[in-house]
Amino acid sequence: MKKILVFSVIASAILIAGCRKNTSLSESAFNETPTLPSIPFDYNARFQHLSPFGEVLNNEVAALGRVLFYERKLSANGTVSCGSCHMQSNAFADNKKSSSGLALGKTPRNSPTLCNISRQNRYFLDGRDDTLEQMVLKPIGNHLEMGISDIASIVNRVESISYYKPLFEKAFGDDKITLPRIATSLKTFLNSIVSYQSKQDLDPAVPIQQLYTFDERVGRQLFMMSLPCASCHTGDNLTLGWSGSTFANIGLEEHYTDKGATFMNSPQNGDLEGFFKVPTLRNIALTAPYMHDGRFKTLDDVITFYTQNIQPHPLLNSNLQTGGGWGGGFGFGISDPEVAELAKVTSNNDGKFGTPLRFELNSYQRKCLIAFLHTFTDTKMITEPMYSDPFKK
């Protein structure tokens, strides 16, 4: 009993010391109060590039949401914010396999990008929430992330911080702080995070030969025609389906440890073992590591998987099987004969229906495909002041 007590005391001391260390580091890099412009940024102007139904964002609500997004005082020990795991420089993803949350606890999944989240209708990698208002509060209550077990107590925390009442009054017309208003503010800020200024967004308005380098054109041909990439990553958001909330089993494992979206199993849906949300490829060069568990460190690792290592799971997406949904191109290729020739790939498929696709890419083709994936990067979004941390010195 003594040994257990001593161990508990030591463990508690280490945990507290760790938290204090994190707080000290945070204090050296951040101000205690946010720095905001006298006139709020025009979040709605950016949102309109993505809004298909004419929805309008309230700039004051988005400005409040920005402060809440970066508010470390919403975590149990005052060291973690939403922005700790969704960093603007990484297109609002995390550059770690598992994010570090409260007391350096590790999340079981990689933190995905938040850009163009308004195009989604299910949230988290397994789609467990169907409204953004539900989703934004979950990390705050998660014991590994921000650690507030009683979500309702967030209201008291926010009320105790002096700069919030004026912000709520500007956003909602009075200074009443409620949980729905906190959720609405976070949702509004996230909806404003729109990526639309990559090189890819100029295609096809600008002639391909002018828009892309030669290597990028070869990569584009590989992506669109020689490989099945565009069967799941297409359209203006580079994902499967308009909503961005389509799920697929891509054959990462024959027997998944993380079962994915199986909570949605039903007679209508069938078995969804290994199904995860098909992500947007916007800013993909900034969001490493890759897959739901961050298992692949580089884009080259991802290419190796898709060309050589897809596993024969019984629920494997048909676009990744021989004789499946992929028809060998999507009609967006380049007529340049030299580009087409350099983008030809060797197929190592065994001819059996339903087996994983296999391709041989040479080093130049890999280089070109990666170069094309870099054209999805929106450098404006990742440096846009309206999305930056208002507490940062």
- pLDDT truncated to tens, each residue of the chain (393 aa)? 433 333 333 333 333 334 433 433 445 678 999 999 999 999 999 999 887 677 899 999 999 999 999 999 999 999 999 999 999 999 999 999 999 888 777 899 999 999 999 888 899 999 999 999 999 999 999 988 999 989 999 999 999 999 999 999 999 999 999 999 999 999 999 999 999 999 989 887 889 999 999 999 999 999 999 999 999 998 888 987 655 578 999 999 999 999 999 988 888 888 999 999 999 999 999 999 999 999 999 999 999 999 999 999 999 999 999 988 776 665 566 678 999 999 999 988 766 788 999 999 999 999 999 999 999 999 999 999 999 999 998
Q: What CATH number has the domain bearing residue 298?
A: 1.10.760.10
Does residue 136 lie within any of the structural domains?
A: yes
pTM of the predicted model, to two decimals? Answer: 0.89
> Are residues 271 and 173 part of one domain?
no
Structure tokens at 123: 């949230």
> Are residues 73 and 146 part of one domain?
yes
Does residue 354 lie within any of the structural domains?
A: yes
> Are residues 281 and 313 part of one domain?
yes
Does residue 390 lie within any of the structural domains?
A: no
3-state helix, strand, coil in the chain (%, to 5): 45, 5, 50
DSSP annotation of 42 reads -
> Are residues 187 and 108 part of one domain?
yes
Does residue 290 lie within any of the structural domains?
A: yes
Please name the residues in contact with 346: beta carbons below 8 A apart, sequence gap of 6 or more: 359, 360
> Are residues 241 and 184 part of one domain?
no
> Are residues 259 and 371 part of one domain?
yes
Does residue 15 lie within any of the structural domains?
A: no
Does residue 26 lie within any of the structural domains?
A: no
| CA 92 – CA 378 distance, rounded (Å) | 12
Does residue 68 lie within any of the structural domains?
A: yes
Structure tokens at 335: 């007529």
Domain boundary, last residue among 192, 220, 239 = 192
> Are residues 109 and 85 part of one domain?
yes
| CA 137 – CA 263 distance, rounded (Å) | 20
> Are residues 258 and 161 part of one domain?
no
Domain boundary, last residue among 141, 158, 192 = 192
> Are residues 128 and 234 part of one domain?
no
> Are residues 181 and 221 part of one domain?
no
> Are residues 181 and 66 part of one domain?
yes
For 110-113, the CB contacts below 8 A with 24+ separation are 110/289, 110/290, 110/291, 110/292, 110/293, 110/294, 111/85, 111/86, 112/277, 112/279, 112/287, 113/86, 113/279, 113/280, 113/282, 113/283, 113/287
The domain total for the chain is 2
Q: Which domain holds residue 101?
A: 35-42+56-192
> Are residues 247 and 152 part of one domain?
no
